[in-house]
Amino acid sequence: MAEQKQGWFQRLTGGLSRSSKAMTEQVAEIFRKPLDQAQLDALEEMLIEADLGPQAAGRIAQAFGEARFGKSASEQEVKEALAEAVARELVPRQGLFDPLSGPRPYIVLFIGVNGSGKTTTLGKIAADLTARGARVLVVAGDTFRAAAVEQLKVWADRSGADFMSRDTGADAAGLAFDAIQRARAEAYDVVLIDTAGRLQNKQGLMDELLKVIRVVKKIDPDAPHETLLVLDATVGRNALSQENLFGNQIGVSGIVMTKLDGTARGGVLVPVAQASDSPIKLIGVGEGIDDLQPFDARAFSRSLVGLDA
Ligand SMILES: Nc1nc2c(ncn2[C@@H]2O[C@H](COP(=O)(O)OP(=O)(O)O)[C@@H](O)[C@H]2O)c(=O)[nH]1
Ligand SMILES: [Mg+2]
């Protein structure tokens, strides 16, 4: 178990290495002498540059200053204090994705712009759930692009989940309706519904997602039990406007932040977590089947500043 935890943390730290590298270099630069106001200002600026956003950056620098003002510290101590300050921001924004302890079938909708990682995230979740013995139905609700259906089928096959799709251009809401009826009749545990990230225009997409939700609710008023908004960390602060759009127009119950491995901008998770009404539940740290993790605010904060577990 300890070994497993180690591997998990290493993937997180490895994934976040591009984000933490920039921070580590600057931390070493800033804290060569006892902490003074100029260093605190530099720290705040560094956090803003790392995409943590001005509010959180200000609070973190302040908390850090209160703990360490006038003191010299080793790089390790500085990082520990910084990780603690970041964690304080994030711990209240951490949520659990736990489809197997909810009602059956547990219906999960994946939403987000094109390329954010919806299909990949769905595939990783399907693999994890089937490995844990659950019966999973994967639904290709992105009927807009044929390639999207194919891509999802590969993931479903790989994970041993069952798969439902329609022809390109078919009504996604109708597919979702049929899928949930089938899932009820055949006693599936979980239904994972992929959606399009782009249609003719933004409003067209919002209308389609709302229609899917309306139709799903006809079968089960409590569904979708989870609406996961998938956001790509590499777009930096654009993730904030996506959160705003989907959060306001569709309603979101949890956030997945993907591609934390591909960016030096992993800090953007902080302002997204704070802007959103819904917690961060999962993070993606690679393209592989094992590269999805429950969001652990403390572990994330330590990795972000380049600390070990
Ligand atoms: N490096 C990395 N790539 C990812 C991650 N999640 C998704 N991707 C890649 O991002 C691209 C778009 O993902 P996809 O799932 O097709 O996005 P969708 O359009 O929202 O369904 C694909 O090449 C994925 O392999 C991640 O956590 N890390
Ligand atoms: Mg997709």
pTM here is 0.94
24 Cβ below 6 A of ligand 1: no
Across 2-6, 38-42, 203-207, least confident range? 2-6
Ligand 1 pocket: which of 113, 192, 287, 300 to mutate (most atoms within 8 A of CB) = 287
261 Cβ below 6 A of ligand 1: yes
Cα distance between residue 113 and residue 165, in whole Å: 20
- Does residue 2 surpass a pLDDT of 50? no
115 Cβ below 6 A of ligand 1: yes
- Pairing of β 106-111 and β 226-232: parallel
- Does residue 5 surpass a pLDDT of 60? no
Strands (E), 86-241: 106-111, 136-139, 162-164, 190-193, 226-232
CA-nearest residue for atom 4, ligand 1, is: 287
What distance in angstroms lies between residue 148's CA and the mean position of ligand 1's atoms? 12
- HSE-CB at 184 with a 13 A cutoff on CA atoms is 9
**Which single residue is written with the structure tokens 């399009």?**
196
Question: In this predicted structure, what is the pLDDT of residue 1?
Answer: 38
Cα angle, residue 203 at apex, residues 200 and 206 outer, rounded to 5°: 105
**CA–CA distances in Å: residue 121 to residues 95, 148, 187, 236, 273:** 17, 13, 23, 19, 19
What distance in angstroms lies between residue 125's CA and the mean position of ligand 2's atoms? 14
What distance in angstroms lies between residue 230's CA and the mean position of ligand 1's atoms? 10
Q: pLDDT tens across 69-114, in order?
A: 888 878 888 889 889 999 999 999 999 999 999 999 999 999 999 9
- Pairing of β 106-111 and β 190-193: parallel
- Does residue 194 surpass a pLDDT of 80? yes
Q: pLDDT tens across 206-231, in order?
A: 999 999 999 999 999 999 999 999 99
- HSE-CB at 51 with a 13 A cutoff on CA atoms is 23
- Pairing of β 136-139 and β 162-164: parallel
CA-nearest residue for atom 7, ligand 1, is: 117
Q: Which atom of ligand 1 is nearest to the CA of 283?
A: 27
Q: Which atom of ligand 1 is nearest to the CA of 230?
A: 20
